[in-house]
Amino acid sequence: MRCPVLLVLAALAVGTLGGKVFSASQAGEQALAANSGVEPRPVLLELFTSEGCSSCPPADAFLKQLDDAGRLQDVAVIAIEEHVDYWDRLGWRDPFSSHDWTERQEQYASSFRRDGVYTPQLVVNGVSELVGSSAREARQKIIEAARIPGVELRVAARSVAPESAEVSVNIPSMPAEARSATVWLAVTERGLSSNVLRGENEGRNLTHAAVLRSLTRVKLRHTDPSAPTESKATVRLDRAWKREDLRFVVFLQEAKTLHILGAAACMISR
């Protein structure tokens, strides 16, 4: 309905919430992936959600299943929850909401030629969108997105201070057609939850997947096109964010279509 106007090595075959873990349709998806002849690549899932939206908890739970497993069949998934702020005026201010994420969703709405925004909305690699709780459709779109050739990215946290972190981004080979794309560095935090006191989810304890904390544009230094492209970025960290639950996600996104050409993620080394 229309609402008010971001790699672990576990395996997963997610079924509908509360239903079977494996289904005949998933077997078909496995065959489709196995016969594609294309090496699957990481897929970035962006869920636009809000603690003030009663339709969102099932989508949050589904994304958390994918995030906890880190894989769908042989496809690596990188999940990010982006909490919008247009629900905040209806009784409950989502502590994780940001108008920046609302603006990002509005950019996708324009790309998908939608009249407006809604929650819960799941965007798959910037290529397709759907209602976030539609688990069966989401699985299919993830498999399809993984078959599209992309760009390999690598990310590592080089140094972490109490209030900042230096992150390196490496692209072994940058195709000419991808050199105008934007590199984004997201900081996400897992293990977050809220006791909702008002609004549509009043009285509920809501748990989340990897919540988006910050999003920074990374400037790349283009030299020899045949050589790897490397860059470093310093991002701010809030002292309240739990370091063991933070993840750095880097992704390459086309400026016009908003398609995600490649993505990678890493945790802070202990």
**pLDDT at 264 exceeding the cut of 90:** yes
Residues 84-98 pLDDT 10s: 999 999 999 999 999
Note whether residue 30 is domain-resident: yes
Model confidence at 261, pLDDT cuts 50, 70, 90, reads: very high
pLDDT reading at 31 higher than 80: no
Once rounded to an integer, what is the mean pLDDT over residues 189-197? 97
* Structural domains in the chain (count): 1
Degrees to nearest 5, angle at CA 186 with 202 and 240: 55
Above 70 in pLDDT, residue 45?
A: yes
Determine the pLDDT at residue 227.
75
pLDDT at residue 222, as a whole number: 64
| pLDDT cut 70: percent of the chain above it | 83
Q: What is the pLDDT of residues 53-66, one digit of tens each?
A: 999 999 999 999 99
Give the pLDDT of residue 39: 57
The answer for residues whose C-beta is within 8 angstroms of residue 35's C-beta and 6 or more apart is: none
How do strand 229-236 and strand 164-171 relate by DSSP bridges? antiparallel
Q: Find, among 39, 251, 258, 34, the residue nearest to 146 by Cα.
A: 39
Residue 9 lies in a domain: no
Which domain, by its residues, includes 214? 24-267
In a domain, 58, yes or no: yes
Q: Return the minimum-mean-pLDDT range out of 169-173, 190-194, 196-200.
A: 169-173
Determine, yes or no, domain membership for 60.
yes
- Percent of the chain at pLDDT > 90 equals 74
Query: Running DSSP on this structure, what letter comes out for residue 125?
Result: T
Residue 39 belongs to a domain: yes
Look up residue 234 and give its two tokens.
Answer: 């310093």
Whole-number Å distance between alpha carbons of 224 and 201:
54
pLDDT-derived band at 16, boundaries 50, 70, 90: very low
Bridge partners of 45?
79, 124
Q: Is 1 contained in some domain?
A: no
Sign for the pseudo-dihedral over CA of 18, 19, 25, 27:
positive
Instruction: State residue 35's pLDDT score.
Output: 41
Which CATH number do you get for residue 162? Answer: 2.60.40.10
16 in any annotated domain: no
Strand partners, 264: 250
Q: What pLDDT, in 10s, does the model give residues 201-219?
A: 999 999 999 999 999 999 8
225 pLDDT more than 70: no
Which tops the pLDDT comparison, 215 or 227?
215
Whether residue 70 contacts residue 60, with contact meaning beta carbons closer than 8 Å, is answered with no
Please tell me the predicted confidence (pLDDT) of residue 27.
Answer: 36
**How high does pLDDT run on average in the chain?**
86
Please state the pTM of the whole predicted model: 0.85
Letter for the amino acid at 48? F
pLDDT computed for residue 226 by the predictor:
67
What is the reported pLDDT for 21? 32
Q: Nearest 5°: phi and psi at 167? A: -120, 135
Task: Please indicate, yes or no, if residue 6 is contained in any of the structural domains.
Answer: no
User: What confidence score (pLDDT) does residue 270 get?
Assistant: 62
Q: State whether residue 261 is helix, strand or coil.
A: strand
